[in-house]
A and B are shown apart, each in its own frame.
Chain A
């Protein structure tokens, strides 16, 4: 598998599934942080130690069943554009993308498993899938974790659990998150109180790319903050319960819009379609917001000729690094906006309002 092959296919974790629940849920992610026993954490280790550990971890990961048929990328050997591409596909974090030598990522052939080496912790195991099957995903992560641990001893304390570079991750090292598309709640200005409420019960609300990013395209990532004092299952079940409530809330908001404010909803979707059909210079943020409107139109039956899966595809392909890979040359911001607008116009020519 080569990086250039990635752009020609949709991410398996973004594959479309049917049903109302999965229309609102874009994807789910399990992240587990682990560190090697008796070794300094990556941010504090010396260069020699970092490289030594990197080789050891890379070799161990190459023998693990989930990753054996996948790829390992040494970050320092990648061009900037390739690093951005991996980040846009959520296979690596922004932090890993800017690392120098001694960091990398192991990715399964279907892109649903990615293990980052020497990011903030020695290992960050990630499982990504469409839908809401977090408990099954934890099982996959649990098995992968045990398999790696049989090769590499982990830092563990009976009282504090798995030890991590940042105390915010200690214990289970688990961050479970769900990416939700909540346009109706945003339209009705109900996202702010929802965010505040989630914060109160210990859940974090973030944007499309996690920490410190804005919720562009009405995509919200909901995740647990506490990693200590609860079992992995309890953490996941609590998150799932809240996500179920959020889905219901969004569905109610959509019904309220359709019944009580139909012209407002049509206006929102029509404007989104207008931008996507007629813009010739389309910046990333505006594209995401308009594509959110398009998705809402597809899901409320106000648009024909478009499905959620198609929107997922366009969202992925029109990110800066993907665009540049597709055009096979580096593009400046204006050139990207032009190319993005053209691609979207071509893709969505058949979409119309009902």
Chain B
């Protein structure tokens, strides 16, 4: 098993944490574990490691702490509450969250129900073009699974926005 942070070395440190009854696992190589400040004797949580809290002097000195522009949550706040502040936090802390999500979930991206409202908003805000570009990139890099997923998302988004417009049009015509 490869280290979930660097994806290069063999994982040698296996962390398990119970978060509200859910068991979370994280597998790291020696280097990443040391860099994260993981110490077998200290009670460090997974979020600490992933959010770089284990070695605050090393990572935080000099650079201002990352703060959500929308709700002003800081990394330190997330550490305290282990809950995010608002939907925009997922973008703000994407870099730190993504490995965490990969560790706790079946896959890295959503394949379930698509929000109708969001689909509409997406279609209107040219996000389809953005998705299209991601799709082309995925095909170019031979990431076919990701490409297939993106294709389905685009289809769903287009379908949703079309049917929403259709019903809006027919409604207005009467």
Contact = CB atoms under 8 A, between A and B. Distances in A.
A167 B104 contact: yes
Contacts of A210: 21
Q: Which of B88, B90, B100 has the most CB of A within 10 A?
A: B90
Interface stretch (B1-9, B105-113, B136-144): B105-113
A interface bracket (residues with beta carbon within 8 Å of B): 35 or more
B50 to A, nearest CB: 10
B165 to A, nearest CB: 15
Given A41-B84, A161-B113, A212-B20, 10 more contacts: A37-B87, A37-B118, A41-B83, A44-B71, A44-B73, A157-B87, A167-B104, A210-B21, A211-B22, A231-B111
Given A157-B90, A168-B22, A228 B83 contact: no
Contact of A202 (B77, B106, B114, B122): B106
B110 A158 contact: yes
B116 A165 contact: no
Contacts of B111: 229-231
Interface string B14-45: 00000111111000000000000000000000
Interface of B: 19-24, 70-71, 73, 77, 81-88, 90, 97, 100-101, 104-118, 121-122, 127, 131, 153, 157
Interface string A135-146: 000000010011
A154 B117 contact: yes
A170 B102 CA distance: 12
A299 interface: no
A227 B101 CA distance: 10
A199 interface: yes
Contacts of A231: 111-113
A340 interface: no
Contact of B110 (A159, A165, A212): A159
Contacts of A28: none
B86 A43 contact: no
A158 B129 CA distance: 13
B108 A168 contact: no
A229 B82 contact: no
A153 B117 contact: yes
8 closest Cβ pairs, A-B complex = A229-B107, A161-B110, A156-B118, A155-B87, A229-B106, A156-B115, A228-B105, A211-B21
Nearest to A163: B87
Contact of A158 (B86, B101, B117, B131): B131
A165 B122 contact: no
A267 B87 CA distance: 56
A286 interface: no
A172 interface: yes
B23 A170 contact: no
B104 A225 contact: yes
A230 B107 contact: yes
Contacts of A41: 83-87
Given A158-B157, A160-B109, A202-B106, A168 B19 contact: yes
A312 interface: no
A165 B116 CA distance: 21
Given A40-B86, A154-B118, A230-B106, A172 B113 contact: yes
